């Protein structure tokens, strides 16, 4: 089963994707994570993307769609994909259709995380992750159970994203409203969109997503 998690920055896509990976062995395909890895490795894609990401704008459709195609080819047979942060434009939505069709795959669900924009700045400015395994946390909403120790891998190093500041968040939200929200009708016309309340606590959001997936 292949699904898209759609929602503005901070809606909880990564958090819920990590839970689906744990529960169902699906693969999280986050273009943001792929781009950050490229920036860190100093690849040509990373060098091109860095300033755009720091400004909170969108990287080119060609770059992200190429990244997604490569990652899909690396999936285990029968492994479902969770698209997290992709597609973000109508052109990317069209590319995803082509990419899936070339591989004989289909898209079963688009899950829209419905959130109150005012909450997003607080979510994003408090976000941090384990530097070793990538597990997500929040200063207020999800702290490690033992201080400075990752619940998942026991690591002690944590990191914050350079673009997780209030100024950039506003640009990212504007990009979402202008370019990403308008792709919803494409999927609504296919009858595969489910809207989930993303303002509840994380377990309630997970339960609502599981209900959509029928598991
Ligand atoms: P996205 O991937 O959509 O940008 P994240 O999953 O990284 O968003 O969530 C942003 C921040 O908000 C993280 O620090 C996460 O721990 C926190 N968070 C996620 N879901 C919820 C929720 N339902 N309630 C409160 N905080 C949440
Ligand atoms: P994210 O991790 O999803 O919040 O993405 C972080 C940043 O990476 C975004 O603000 C964009 O600059 C870039 N990015 C991630 N995914 C995409 C995408 N699908 N299309 C364009 N830019 C993207």
Number of helices followed by number of strands (H, E) in the chain: 9, 8
Closest CA to 200 of 191, 211, 188, 185: 211
Q: Give the whole-angstrom CA distance, residue 137 versus residue 108.
A: 29
* Annotated catalytic residue 159: no
Report pLDDT digits (tens) over 125-150: 999 999 999 999 999 999 999 999 99
Closest CA to 30 of 55, 6, 56: 6
On whether the CB atoms of residues 45 and 67 are closer than 8 A, the answer is yes
Report pLDDT digits (tens) over 194-212: 999 999 999 999 999 999 9
Chain Cα centroid distance, residue 192: 18
- The pLDDT score that the predictor gives to residue 117 is 87
Cis peptide before 87 (omega within 30 of 0): yes
**How many other CB atoms are found less than 10 A from the CB of residue 173?**
18
Closest CA to 198 of 179, 178, 212, 188: 212
Q: Which protein residues are within 6 Å of ligand 1, measured from CB?
A: 7, 9-15, 123-124, 126-127, 136-138, 141-142, 201-202, 205
* Annotated catalytic residue 190: no
On whether the CB atoms of residues 29 and 37 are closer than 8 A, the answer is no
The mean pLDDT value of the chain amounts to 96
* Tokens matching residue 112: 């829209």
Nearest atom, ligand 1, residue 204 CA: 23
The single residue listed with the structure tokens 């781009």 is 35
Q: Give the whole-angstrom CA distance, residue 77 versus residue 200.
A: 34
DSSP letter for 84, please. Answer: E
Report pLDDT digits (tens) over 17-35: 999 999 999 999 999 999 9
Which residue has a Cα nearest atom 6 of ligand 2? 32
* Annotated catalytic residue 127: yes
- The pLDDT score that the predictor gives to residue 124 is 96
Report pLDDT digits (tens) over 103-119: 999 999 999 999 998 89
Nearest atom, ligand 2, residue 33 CA: 2
């Amino acid at each position: 089963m292949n699904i898209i998690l759609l929602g503005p920055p901070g809606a909880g896509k990564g958090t819920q994707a990590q839970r689906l990976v744990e529960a169902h062995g699906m693969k999280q395909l986050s273009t943001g994570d792929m781009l950050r890895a490229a920036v860190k490795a100093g690849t040509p894609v990373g060098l091109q993307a860095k300033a755009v990401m720091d400004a909170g704008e969108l990287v080119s459709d060609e770059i992200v769609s190429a990244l997604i195609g490569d990652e899909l080819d690396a999936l285990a047979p029968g492994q479902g994909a969770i698209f997290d942060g992709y597609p973000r434009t109508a052109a990317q939505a069209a590319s995803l259709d082509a990419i899936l069709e070339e591989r004989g795959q289909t898209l079963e669900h688009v899950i829209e995380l419905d959130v109150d924009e005012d909450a997003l700045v607080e979510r994003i400015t408090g976000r941090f992750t384990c530097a070793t395994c990538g597990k997500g946390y929040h200063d207020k909403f999800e702290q490690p159970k033992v201080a400075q120790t990752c619940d998942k891998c026991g690591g002690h190093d944590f990191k914050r994203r350079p673009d997780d500041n209030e100024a950039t968040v506003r640009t990212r939200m504007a990009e979402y409203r202008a370019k990403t929200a308008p792709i919803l009708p494409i999927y609504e016309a296919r009858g595969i969109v489910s809207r989930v309340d993303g303002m509840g606590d994380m377990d309630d959001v997970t339960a609502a997503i599981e209900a959509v997936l029928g598991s």
